[in-house]
Amino acid sequence: MSAGRKERAQPFARAAPARPRILVVGEINPDLVLQGAHAVPAPGKEVLVDDFVTVLGSASAICAMGLARLGDAVAFVGKIGTDPWGTLCVDTMAAAGIDVRHVVRDPALKTGVTVSITSSRDRSLVSFLGASAALRAADVGEDALRATRHLHVSSYFLQEGLRPGCRSLFARARAAGLTTSLDPGYDPSERWGKDLLETLTEVDVFLPNEMEIRGVTGVAKIPEALRRLALGRTRTVVKLGAQGCATLGENSQVLYSPAYEVSPVDTTGAGDSFNAGFLHAWLARRPIEECLRWGAACGSLSTRGLGGTANQPTAEEAERLVRLSA
């Protein structure tokens, strides 16, 4: 390449797997996981951790990896830089069987990164958005939508470029006959904009956690928050950590499903693995109570090791846990 010539952003060239069943659109970045933190660091102070790994992170990519681990055919749309971080992430996804042809490398951008300070109980995150903030709804081509059955988006509030067009993206998917799901992620500004509620009119499954549903609705009690979000076609499933998960059943009665008892090592990405388990069962048209148990099983089993993807369960492992506790 001649000096001064600007390299154009190019999609990754990978062999295409079978027709994808699920299209995940979202952010891709590595997680630098600091495990076993003895405290959350205060300004001017230092704390120690027990272990450290660098792994594929980001809510969207972790969910995609969880679905692939369960045996679903998955395609991904996202943006990364041309740096080693981006290559690490996309190579990891491709090795898991995810179709990454629609992931674009842009030399003008840096791949984002998240530092996760974790313990067996919870985790705190510090993120640089990087290329993830540059993804737009227009980057999702009609060919990608036509080739699949379901569209999933995570980290609504973090994806600054995708967020303004997210509702139109879901509307396009709906018009193409796809079902849809959305995980909002946490809003760092804590403004919880009204545009999310407008976007939900085009969404089939909404997957917030306890803190997020309270932020979105302004309601502290989970049953009331669920009823506040009973918006037409949208089913809301709230993740409650060690308390399991919940959704509305018939006559607006709350259905709870407990968490599974495991010995957690790292909770990074547990909610994203929950999403994968729930969607895997929901797309198979299993009863809603069983879908909740699949989500809880996959979320729990994913905490057995460091990072969000290393210990995601297979379908056989999740099914075994679900059946044992049924």
CATH of the domain at 297: 3.40.1190.20
Place of tokens 């932020």: 215
> Does residue 80 belong to any structural domain of this protein?
yes
> Does residue 8 belong to any structural domain of this protein?
no
> Does residue 75 belong to any structural domain of this protein?
yes
> Does residue 72 belong to any structural domain of this protein?
yes
pLDDT score, position 264:
83
∠206-279-183 over CA atoms, to 5°?
30
Tokens of 91: 């190579």
> Does residue 304 belong to any structural domain of this protein?
yes
Q: Which amino acid is at 268?
A: T
Residues of the chain where predicted confidence (pLDDT) is lower than 50: 1-7, 12-19
How much is the pTM? 0.89
Greatest Cα pair distance in the chain: 68
Place of tokens 């879901």: 170
* Closest C-alpha to 246, from 200, 202, 213: 213
Place of tokens 């990454």: 100
Residue 229's Cβ-side half-sphere holds a number of Cα atoms within 13 Å equal to 33
pLDDT score, position 20:
52
* Closest C-alpha to 96, from 120, 71, 132, 131: 71
pLDDT tens string 194-228: 999 999 999 999 999 999 999 999 999 999 999 99
Question: SS3 string of 57-111?
Answer: ECHHHHHHHHHHHCCCCEEEEEEECCCHHHHHHHHHHHHCCCEEEEEEECCCCCE
> Does residue 253 belong to any structural domain of this protein?
yes
Q: Which domain holds residue 64?
A: 13-40+48-325
> Does residue 2 belong to any structural domain of this protein?
no
How many structural domains does the chain have? 1
> Does residue 3 belong to any structural domain of this protein?
no
In angstroms, the Cα distances linking 150 to 144, 167, 174, 268 are 11, 15, 9, 25
